[in-house]
Chains A and B, each alone.
Chain A
């Protein structure tokens, strides 16, 4: 069965640079969620989109923005990167009507040096 795809899997950036993370949900899933997991921490919700509209917002810094496109894939744009942005970034997707059944991608490991 198709799973959530995230790219890239690993990314190394320097401070103050910009990064773009991509997420391709499971086919026919209309909701995408982004989570950030710092070293040794639990995943923290950043933002979600339902049918290409932002549906919920968590602890996402103003330096970050995200959107969901017409094909339902989503991109998380991160600017003015800081050392503290180094983390695993997970994308999850779910189908309308069953939002609690979130399927997680493998994550993108971002390292800011």
Chain B
């Protein structure tokens, strides 16, 4: 990965449990986003957190950002079988003028067993 590691690489949990995924990045960023990808399909945007924010919620999702540690976590509460997918964090770097390219982490494969 260009960016850093995602932790864990794979996670298997029971339906109803919480899932926590972590991501680290290397550069100074404007924003950090989380995406979901079902097997071999498109990327679905989940949530964006700005560099001056520390925590953000959206439904069953909670994202934290620690810019001092260059890390973020995604918490999915009360998981469902339909949450089974790969989850990627992506950052856009400070300094890009036109169209900030996204740098993706390696992804966490989440499997929710029913």
A interface, CB within 8 angstroms of B: 31, 33, 35, 41-45, 48-51, 55-56, 58, 88, 90, 92, 94, 99-107, 109
Contacts and interface: CB of A to CB of B under 8 A. Distances in A.
Contact of B40 (A45, A56, A101, A109): A109
B58 interface: no
Contacts, number: 74
A105 B41 CA distance: 10
B99 A88 contact: no
B75 interface: no
Given A104-B43, A106-B42, A109-B40, A31 B98 contact: yes
Given A42-B107, A44-B2, A100-B30, A107 B102 contact: no
B104 A44 contact: yes
Interface size class of B (residues with CB under 8 A): 20 to 34
A50 B101 contact: no
Nearest to A34: B101
Closest 8 CB pairs of A and B: A50-B98, A55-B98, A31-B99, A42-B104, A106-B42, A104-B43, A45-B101, A99-B100
Given A33-B102, A50-B99, A99 B92 contact: yes
A45 B103 contact: yes
A34 to B, nearest CB: 10
A106 B38 CA distance: 11
Contact of A56 (B30, B99, B106): B99
B42 A90 contact: yes
B63 to A, nearest CB: 15
A2 to B, nearest CB: 15
A31 B42 CA distance: 19
Contacts of A50: 98-99
A58 B96 CA distance: 13
